[in-house]
Amino acid sequence: MKLLLLLALVALAQCRISRVSLWRGKSLRQSLKERGLLELYLQQHPYNPATKYFPSLLSSEPLQNYMDNEYFGTISIGTPGQDFTVIFDTGSSNLWVPSIYCTSQACSNHNRFNPAASSTFVGTNYSVSIAYGTGSMTGVLGYDTVTVADIKVLNQIFGLTETEPGDFFYYSPFDGILGLAFPSIASSGATPVFDNMMAENLVSRDLFSVYLSSNGASGSFVLFGAIDYSYTQNGISWIPLSAETYWQVTMDSVYVGGQPAACLQGCQAIVDTGTSLLVVPNNILGTIFASFGANSNGQISCSALSSLPDLVYYINNQAFSVPPSAYVLEGNGYCSLAFQGMDVPTEAGELWILGDVFIRQYYTIFDRANNRVGLAPLN
């Protein structure tokens, strides 16, 4: 079978070389997919960012780890491209960046998009307004070419900010946000970037996967259209989505040290790369703190770290553990729990958020083809 695959690759490569000067043709990944060989190739050649096997097959966006608090990468918009750093956010669906129209202080120290400098920009009269757990923006919508990793998305709709109130975005090390959730929650009906990638057959599979490094280390990435099997040596647990809005799942319960702590009748949770901490409904926060022996502010004695239990989320009848080394924040001589209270109402009740503290423990696969999330333990 390996010989068959090799011959197919050689034939396809020769085919592409002979036509490169005449027409763009199908990409290598598209051709392998049509012949049913793509999955076999990816399994036999796990993606390695250091060697970049057949970069036309796989599109990896490296992310900068900013103090384990935010992860962002660089995209370009327009012709010629104007560069912006963005959060790749599975908790929202819109793409937006600061623009020259912006009058807020938050735009003064960030890159700003200039429509007049792009030959492919198309403006609209439509407005957009988005509120996040922290920060908000208002602006106008436009269309232009957006390049993410080596993927070029034509006529992508995006927001050009006019206001970014408050100081959250002023102090943020990134320029804007690229939402990777579902179209159903996109403001102003804007089509998300990944939906256009799928519609234009720019990815080999209708999924993307995320690795977030720990302790400020490098190596974090979003991989579009593929799974890096070198991160799945401990297996993948697949969880069906409970709603096609956020990347939302049904959680069975939450345990601390083998004892039930919350969500005993089930609850809804989202897997959100754009949230740094572990978020619980406000009325649950005190209960969570008490179950760890922390005070009402979530502070806990640093000397107790060695005896703290694992936090365990039960999802789809499977246990997903988060160790104390992940959920305890140390700094300035004191320790605190990495939980935040926030009410995110939905038809199914208040949402819990599994943010970066959780995702750092699992290589995470966001599968649009099957509407499921895959979690592969990293330890």
How far are the Cα atoms of 8, 33, 40, 201 from residue 36, in angstroms, in the given order?
11, 5, 8, 16
Confidence of residue 265 (pLDDT cuts 50, 70, 90): very high
Q: What is the mean pLDDT of residues 70-77?
A: 97
Residues 147-177 have pLDDT tens digits of: 999 899 999 999 999 999 999 999 999 999 9
Report the pLDDT value the prediction gives residue 124, as an integer from 0 to 100: 97
Report the pLDDT value the prediction gives residue 350, as an integer from 0 to 100: 87
Q: Does residue 48 have a pLDDT over 50? A: no
- Half-sphere exposure (Cβ direction) of 346: Cα atoms closer than 13 Å: 22
Report the pLDDT value the prediction gives residue 354, as an integer from 0 to 100: 98
The residues near 9 (Cβ < 8 Å, ≥ 6 apart) are 28, 32, 41
Single out the catalytic residue among 89, 175, 195, 228: 89
Q: Does residue 43 have a pLDDT over 80? A: no
Average pLDDT of the chain is: 87
Nearest to 93 by CA among 10, 189, 169: 189
Q: Cα separation of 308 and 59, whole Å?
A: 40
Q: Does residue 34 have a pLDDT over 60? A: no
- CA angle 104/170/273 to nearest 5° reads 120
Is 272 designated active site? yes
* Domains within the chain, CATH numbers bracketed: 59-224 (2.40.70.10), 230-377 (2.40.70.10)
Q: Does residue 372 have a pLDDT over 90? A: yes
Residues 202-212 have pLDDT tens digits of: 999 999 999 99
Is 89 designated active site? yes
| SS3 category, 372 | strand
Residues 310-332 have pLDDT tens digits of: 999 999 999 999 999 999 998 87
How far are the Cα atoms of 75, 103, 146, 207 from residue 182, in angstroms, in the given order?
20, 30, 18, 12
Single out the catalytic residue among 144, 195, 272, 367: 272
Q: Does residue 179 have a pLDDT over 60? A: yes
Report the pLDDT value the prediction gives residue 376, as an integer from 0 to 100: 98
CB atoms within 10 A of CB 320: 19
Report the pLDDT value the prediction gives residue 103, as an integer from 0 to 100: 95
Q: What is the mean pLDDT of residues 137-154?
A: 97
Confidence of residue 39 (pLDDT cuts 50, 70, 90): low
The residues near 341 (Cβ < 8 Å, ≥ 6 apart) are 279, 280, 281, 282, 284, 285
Q: Cα separation of 300 and 232, whole Å?
A: 34
